[in-house]
A and B are shown apart, each in its own frame.
Chain A
């Protein structure tokens, strides 16, 4: 009997402890933090004692790792110490600081990380203390992403907040050292999206290499143009997911507005959607977008029209009109330009010709966008107008050259008269002063 009682007590004790432990790890962090936030609207700023750091700094390996970069962490800078996320008592130097009763939450499991971050970052009222215009939709976006789906399915090799943003040395995205700064984002994604990590999965893994060689990659990494897209600009930040086939042109069109607009109204978009093909990507590719060249127009050489159109299609017939028209226009501009340069070198003023050529060039730039309407009428209209301007510039240049020639003729004639007059005067002087015999 005594043995059974002992067993029963032990069992009760174990169950109670287990229940307590389970309660702490499984209790929704959202509720706890939300309660505290609602109860005390002001953030818990701990600027004085932080015994967590003091103690953990002296420990080894995994336990001291969080202390290394924490002083730079944006949360620390804003006054939220360890207790800001983990709860507990930062003024207590004993182990009792980590008392779950005092609200302590140890390191969350992968599934819980997003909820933990969202407990503050999705709370508009709370975030407003730090930023009058906070971004509070990361969690809602994350829920739409492939990453979130896979986490819910229990996949351990998937990204959550801390995988991209870091955990105990989180820097704001604006900071060039942050792993989510535009110049670093692609490499952060590639930490998982590479052949080795993704072994055994069907996800393609060559995107980083392709993107780095692309015009976007060059712009961002080499020229430092922060407006150039990295992975997140097309796939989404938190709602990371490849765009649907028929949304691709909208994604590209977010920056390439004119082309996107024209394309959206064109017949090509309809056809591509119907056939389930990808807009923009069909001609320009998606990760390794190269700078477009005029050689892409048409069927020959680098021409992309042949990717969809057969040589006897209406599209091919249109190309047969557009391609020579386009190159003819460029040739006109080049010709006018070379004549204007000659006139300039000769010292003639050709401001209005230059102005017209500039407008012709503007039309050329616009024409390259107009091509995306894939409709013969507007393209021909733009070609006609632009060619007209280039022709007028050429006329101006030729008039200047004619003027220059006329000036030289006039000068030569006047010099003839002057030299003749000088000779006559000299003869007159000689005649007058001839010694009388």
Chain B
């Protein structure tokens, strides 16, 4: 019976062509193959976010009066609501972590070299969208921590020269964070960002299929022909192992460390002590915190924002800055830059959580 249904669908959807592409796709096998899994991991976690996000939409209410109460309702009254919500919060963090691992491994393996420049740029755009997802989603439970972390975050955005003020007002929906901000963030989080992310994903995945997996320079230099494994079923099965491990991780985290409700946001209360943004912004936060208030007459915060911005520009332009063959002095310099960036980000993130309190 399934054979008959399949044949019926075949005729109408033209699945044959898809199957052909899937069967043709293969993945190089070498010392660094492990890093190839992280793009798929990010995609898997994104899928989890979409699924749990849609489920949360069934009960969440995006107004300042009701947001907190609706999240509490989900956590206490809806069957397994605690599970869906905790998975959504934990998977968000895991997804961004996976995306960063994916980005750094792609960088250090110089996967951005021609003809994959656009893949790199779309990937960076997707990372930016993930951070935007994280930032907008964090406010939605409307608790004290989220409220003030958002306030700090948008205030820092306001420090960008020229467009900062406008950007901050656009994000906030006014001069202060209000219920209007919540509505706006909700719109970003469930409509605008998913639409952009879908477009970006389609482009990114298409480009990956079109150009195939890149080889790191060290493997290319070895000269030997590189063995390859079929995507279906070998690589996919291995992907599945990873995904199952991630699923187990999420079950563990959700049951042992359920995401807390916190206290309802009170704009008139003083900010709780130790306010900090989520970990993926922590390194930027720490950088700005450590800069002196003024450097050569210019505000330290401004220097910090500009510095980070400049760094991001250089990072984005890596395909064009690096040696096209990925060899030579320029290439070594870029790799060193990548390692420095990685150490810097990891180090400063740790400083926020483990370092001395300011």
In the complex, A touching B, CB below 8 Å?
Answer: yes
Which residues of chain A have a CB within 8 Å of any CB of chain B?
347-349, 351-352, 407-408, 410-411, 414-415, 418-419, 421-422, 425-426, 428-429, 432-433
Q: Are B237 and A428 in contact (CB under 8 A)?
A: yes
What is the minimal beta-carbon distance from B137 to any residue of chain A, in angstroms? 20
What is the bound-complex CA distance between A105 and B77, given in angstroms?
84
Q: Are A347 and B257 in contact (CB under 8 A)?
A: yes
Q: Are A426 and B75 in contact (CB under 8 A)?
A: no
Chain B neighbourhood of A407, CB < 8 A: 82-83, 255
What is the minimal beta-carbon distance from B71 to any residue of chain A, in angstroms? 10
Closest 10 CB pairs of A and B: A411-B255, A418-B248, A347-B258, A349-B76, A407-B255, A414-B251, A422-B244, A411-B251, A429-B237, A425-B241
Q: Are A351 and B76 in contact (CB under 8 A)?
A: yes
A348, A410, A422, A432: the one contacting B245 at CB < 8 Å is A422
Q: Closest B-chain residue to A403, C-beta based?
A: B82
7 A–B contacts, CB within 8 A, in A order: A347-B260, A349-B75, A408-B256, A411-B252, A414-B251, A418-B244, A422-B245
What is the minimal beta-carbon distance from A25 to any residue of chain B, in angstroms? 66
A349, A425, A428, A433: the one contacting B261 at CB < 8 Å is A349
What is the bound-complex CA distance between A428 and B233, given in angstroms?
10
We find that the number of chain B residues with CB closer than 8 angstroms to chain A is 24
What is the bound-complex CA distance between A425 and B237, given in angstroms?
7
Q: Are A429 and B76 in contact (CB under 8 A)?
A: no
Q: Are B248 and A415 in contact (CB under 8 A)?
A: yes
Q: Closest A-chain residue to B238, C-beta based?
A: A429
A419, A428, A432, A433: the one contacting B248 at CB < 8 Å is A419
Chain B neighbourhood of A348, CB < 8 A: 258
Chain A neighbourhood of B258, CB < 8 A: 347-348
B234, B247, B254: the one contacting A432 at CB < 8 Å is B234
Interface SS of chain B: helix, strand, loop or mixed?
A: helix
Q: Closest A-chain residue to B247, C-beta based?
A: A418
Q: Are B72 and A429 in contact (CB under 8 A)?
A: no
Q: Are B72 and A349 in contact (CB under 8 A)?
A: yes
| New A-B pairs, 14, CB < 8 Å, besides A414-B248, A425-B241 | A347-B258, A349-B72, A349-B261, A351-B72, A351-B76, A407-B83, A411-B251, A411-B255, A415-B252, A421-B244, A425-B244, A429-B237, A429-B241, A433-B234
Q: Are A425 and B257 in contact (CB under 8 A)?
A: no
**With A349-B75, A351-B72, A421-B244 known to touch, is A415 a contact of B233 (CB < 8 Å)?**
no
Chain A neighbourhood of B252, CB < 8 A: 411, 415
Interface contact tally, CB-CB below 8 A:
53
Which residues of chain B have a CB within 8 Å of any CB of chain A?
72, 75-76, 82-83, 233-234, 237-238, 240-241, 244-245, 247-248, 251-252, 254-258, 260-261
B241, B256, B257: the one contacting A422 at CB < 8 Å is B241
Chain A neighbourhood of B244, CB < 8 A: 418, 421-422, 425
Q: Closest A-chain residue to B248, C-beta based?
A: A418
Q: Closest B-chain residue to A433, C-beta based?
A: B234
Q: Closest A-chain residue to B259, C-beta based?
A: A347
What is the bound-complex CA distance between A433 and B238, given in angstroms?
12
What is the bound-complex CA distance between A433 and B228, given in angstroms?
13
**With A349-B72, A351-B72, A419-B248 known to touch, is A411 a contact of B256 (CB < 8 Å)?**
yes
What is the bound-complex CA distance between A416 and B245, given in angstroms?
12
What is the bound-complex CA distance between A415 and B256, given in angstroms?
13
Q: Are B233 and A432 in contact (CB under 8 A)?
A: yes
What is the minimal beta-carbon distance from B255 to any residue of chain A, in angstroms? 4
Chain B neighbourhood of A415, CB < 8 A: 248, 251-252
What is the minimal beta-carbon distance from A436 to any residue of chain B, in angstroms? 15
Q: Are B255 and A408 in contact (CB under 8 A)?
A: yes
What is the bound-complex CA distance between A344 and B170, given in angstroms?
38
What is the minimal beta-carbon distance from B246 to any residue of chain A, in angstroms? 10
What is the bound-complex CA distance between A352 and B76, given in angstroms?
10
What is the bound-complex CA distance between A16 and B255, given in angstroms?
108
Chain B neighbourhood of A422, CB < 8 A: 241, 244-245, 248
What is the bound-complex CA distance between A415 and B75, given in angstroms?
22
What is the bound-complex CA distance between A418 and B234, given in angstroms?
19
What is the minimal beta-carbon distance from A411 to any residue of chain B, in angstroms? 4
Q: Closest B-chain residue to A429, C-beta based?
A: B237
Q: Closest A-chain residue to B245, C-beta based?
A: A422
What is the minimal beta-carbon distance from B94 to any residue of chain A, in angstroms? 15
Chain B neighbourhood of A432, CB < 8 A: 233-234, 237
Q: Closest B-chain residue to A400, C-beta based?
A: B76
What is the bound-complex CA distance between A408 and B247, given in angstroms?
15
What is the minimal beta-carbon distance from A406 to any residue of chain B, in angstroms? 10
Chain B neighbourhood of A349, CB < 8 A: 72, 75-76, 82, 261
What is the bound-complex CA distance between A421 and B240, given in angstroms?
10
What is the bound-complex CA distance between A428 and B82, given in angstroms?
35
What is the minimal beta-carbon distance from A232 to any residue of chain B, in angstroms? 40
What is the bound-complex CA distance between A158 and B238, given in angstroms?
102
What is the minimal beta-carbon distance from B51 to any residue of chain A, in angstroms? 16
Q: Closest B-chain residue to A414, C-beta based?
A: B251
What is the bound-complex CA distance between A408 and B244, given in angstroms?
19
What is the minimal beta-carbon distance from B87 to any residue of chain A, in angstroms? 12
What is the minimal beta-carbon distance from A344 to any residue of chain B, in angstroms? 10
Chain B neighbourhood of A421, CB < 8 A: 244
What is the minimal beta-carbon distance from B82 to any residue of chain A, in angstroms? 8
What is the bound-complex CA distance between A68 and B257, given in angstroms?
73
Chain B neighbourhood of A425, CB < 8 A: 237, 240-241, 244
Chain A neighbourhood of B254, CB < 8 A: 411
Q: Closest B-chain residue to A410, C-beta based?
A: B255
What is the bound-complex CA distance between A426 and B238, given in angstroms?
8
What is the minimal beta-carbon distance from A403 to any residue of chain B, in angstroms? 9
What is the bound-complex CA distance between A419 and B241, given in angstroms?
9
Q: Are B241 and A426 in contact (CB under 8 A)?
A: yes
What is the bound-complex CA distance between A19 and B260, given in angstroms?
93
What is the bound-complex CA distance between A432 and B257, given in angstroms?
38
Chain A neighbourhood of B233, CB < 8 A: 432
Chain A neighbourhood of B237, CB < 8 A: 425, 428-429, 432
What is the bound-complex CA distance between A407 and B258, given in angstroms?
10
What is the bound-complex CA distance between A221 and B240, given in angstroms?
73
Chain A neighbourhood of B76, CB < 8 A: 349, 351-352
What is the bound-complex CA distance between A433 and B258, given in angstroms?
40
What is the bound-complex CA distance between A23 and B109, given in angstroms?
118
What is the minimal beta-carbon distance from B1 to any residue of chain A, in angstroms? 26
What is the minimal beta-carbon distance from B276 to any residue of chain A, in angstroms? 21
Chain B neighbourhood of A414, CB < 8 A: 248, 251
What is the bound-complex CA distance between A411 and B253, given in angstroms?
10
Chain B neighbourhood of A347, CB < 8 A: 257-258, 260
